Amino acid sequence: MNETLLALYQLQHIDTQLDELVSSRGELPVRVEEMRAALVERENILAEIERFAHEHQAKVRALDTDVTDHREKLEKYKKQQFDVKTTREYDAITFQIEDADRRLNEGTETMARLSMELENAQADADAARNDVAQLKEEFDASKKQLDEVMLETAAEEKKLTKLRNDAAKKVTPQFISIYERIRPAKNGLGIVAVRDGVCGGCFNAIPRQLVLELNRGEKHTVCEYCGRIVVGEPIAVAVDGERVKIVYEVDAEEAE
Ligand SMILES: [Zn+2]
Rounded distance from Cα 170 to ligand 1 centre (Å): 24
Answer whether residue 229 shows pLDDT above 60: yes
Residues 101 and 197 in one domain: no
**How many domains is the chain partitioned into structurally?**
2
CA distance 222 to 116: 72
**Maximum Cα–Cα distance for the chain, whole Å?**
125
What is the Cα–Cα distance from 25 to 50, expressed in whole angstroms? 38
Q: Looking at the structure, tell me whether residues 125 and 187 fall in a common domain.
A: no
Q: Which residues contact 196 (CB under 8 A, 6 or more apart)?
A: none
Pick from 237, 165, 178, 170: nearest CA to 4:
170
**Claim to verify: residue 129 and residue 222 sit in the same structural domain:** no
Q: What does the pLDDT look like over 154-193, one tens digit per residue?
A: 999 999 999 999 999 999 999 999 999 999 999 999 999 9
* 50 CB-contact burial (10 Å; exposed 0-12 / middle 13-18 / buried 19+): middle
What confidence score (pLDDT) does residue 256 get?
42
12 C-alpha to center of ligand 1: Å?
Answer: 15
State whether residue 105 is helix, strand or coil: helix
Does 247 reside within a domain? yes
- Is 71 contained in some domain? yes
- Is 115 inside a domain boundary? yes
In a domain, 157, yes or no: no
Contacts of residue 153, defined as CB under 8 A and 6 or more positions apart, other chains included, come to 21, 24, 25, 248
Q: Which residues surround ligand 1, an ion (CB under 5 A)?
A: 199, 201-202, 223, 225-226
Tell whether the torsion through CA atoms of 122, 127, 132 and 137 is positive or negative.
positive
User: Do 89 and 131 reside in the same domain of the chain?
Assistant: yes
Do residues 85 and 201 share a domain? Answer: no
Residue 243 in any domain: the answer is yes
Whether residue 191 sits in one domain with residue 147: no
pLDDT for 241? 64
**Which pLDDT value is given to residue 24?**
87
Residue 98 is assigned to a structural domain of this protein: yes
pLDDT interval class at 201 (50, 70, 90):
very high
H/E stretch holding 202: none
Q: How far apart are the C-alpha atoms of 216 and 37, rounded to whole Å?
A: 53
Q: Are residues 136 and 209 in the same domain?
A: no
Q: Contacts by 252-256 with C-beta closer than 8 Å and gap 24+?
A: 252/155, 252/156, 252/159
Cα(184) to centroid(ligand 1), Å: 15
**Where is the domain boundary, 152, 187, 209?**
152
Residue 166 maps to a domain: no
DSSP 203-249: --B--HHHHHHHTTTS-EEE-TTT--EEE-HHHHHHHHHTPPP---T
For residues 181 and 117, state if they share a domain: no
pTM assigned to the model: 0.60
| Residue 16: inside a domain | no
User: Is residue 202 a contact partner of residue 189, using CB atoms and an 8 Å limit?
Assistant: no
Q: Tell me, what CATH number does 80's domain have?
A: 1.10.287.1490
pLDDT at 106 over 50: yes
Give every strand in the sheet of 198-199, ordered side by side. 198-199, 191-195, 229-231, 220-222
Distance 241 CA to ligand 1 centre (A): 23
Q: Identify the pLDDT of residue 247.
A: 46
Same domain, 32 and 137: yes
Residue 244: which domain range? Answer: 172-255
Compute, in angstroms, the gap from residue 196 CA to the centroid of ligand 1: 13
Question: Are residue 60 and residue 140 in the same domain, yes or no?
Answer: yes
pLDDT at 16: 95
Same-domain check for residues 32 and 120: yes
* pLDDT tier at 254, thresholds 50, 70, 90: very low
42 with 148, same domain: the answer is yes
| Domain-terminating residue out of 152, 183, 212 | 152
CB-CB contact of 149 with 25 (8 Å): yes
Residue 197 gets which letter from DSSP? Answer: T
Domain boundary among 152, 187, 204: 152
Q: Say how many Å lie between the CA of residue 143 and the centre of ligand 1.
A: 40
